[in-house]
Each structure stands twice: as C-alpha cells, then as structure tokens.
Copies of this chain bind each other. A is one copy, B any other.
C-alpha cells in the first residue's frame, strides 16, 4: 500500500461491481436511477423445451453501440463509460470504441451529462472525467493513444470512496454539473 491508496481500496472488487453496488445504493435511497445496460447479444438459436424456460443455444457478443451506464438524476440525463487500467502514468483509450465516442458526442450535443469513470488499479484512485476532455484526446490530437494521468488529475475529479456507497460519484456531479 502506498500513501495514495484510498482507505477503502484494494478489496478485490472490479470497478463494475463497485459501480453496481453504488447505483443500487442510489436506487434504494431514492437519490438517482442509474443502471448498467445489459450486454448486447445476437441471439441465433433458441430451444423451447416443454414445461421449462426457453434456452438460448447459440448467441454472440455484439459491440455495444452506446456506453455502459445511463439514467436520471434530478431530471437530467446521466451517461457514462467505466474503464479500469493497470497503467500508472496514463489512460490508454484503445478499448473505447469509435461508436461509443460518437455516442458521447451525441449526448453532449443533446445537453446530457456525459463522462467517464477511470480507475487506476495500481493506486485504486477513481476519477470522474468529463466526456468533452476525453473527446478532445480521442479526436483532436494525433500524437498519442492515451491520456496523461496528470491531465486526468487536473481536469478530472477524484471520486470519494467509502463502504456504502463505494464510489460516491453523485457528490461530484452535484458540484460540477449543477
């Protein structure tokens, strides 16, 4: 453990698990309605056995055409993608797809609140980083395929971590977007 490790970090939970728990907490406390979208699947074969549930026997993963999470907070549309990296000094954006970036641009143009939640697993730091900055790195500069960590530290917002909710990103949304 280093000095930068958040108190509740390193519990072996994936970022997705932490966010699902957080969203469930927001749902149960009536603070926000935000869900992870189901994994898109192309269904090819289905069996309908008598007296039991339909069984999908052949299907394939499809590329998602949007981001991972969306929902509503105080009437406003919230949309984000969550990504984890083992890098220490930058966030590679290779695994964010073109149509996900396109989706973020559309959400921004439509006045929605769009951002990414990044976790640096070596230090367990989690940042909320507005989509506009991400779009800049992805679209406007050609030198590199990653975002320097110091830009994320400077323009992003460290998400407070705790037991419940684990990643209290609504605190940041309140401060930054309202």
Q: How far is the CB of A103 from chain B (nearest CB, A)?
A: 7
- Which residue in chain B gives the minimum CB-CB distance to A47? B58
What's the Cα separation between A53 and B61 when bound, in Å?
8
Copies per complex of this chain:
2
Other-chain contact of A57, B58, B62, B66, B74 (Cβ < 8 Å): B58
- Which residue in chain B gives the minimum CB-CB distance to A30? B109
Q: A30: which B residues are within 8 A, CB to CB?
A: 106, 109-110
Q: A72: which B residues are within 8 A, CB to CB?
A: 77, 79, 107, 110-112
Find residues 62-80 in chain A having any chain B CB closer than 8 Å to their own CB. Answer: 62, 65-66, 70-79
A96 within 8 A of B: no
A94 within 8 A of B: no
Q: How far is the CB of A34 from chain B (nearest CB, A)?
A: 10
- Contacts A77-B75, A77-B77 given; does A33 touch B65 at CB 8 Å: no
A95 within 8 A of B: no
**8 residue pairs A–B, Cβ–Cβ below 8 Å:** A38-B41, A54-B61, A71-B77, A74-B110, A75-B110, A75-B111, A75-B112, A77-B77
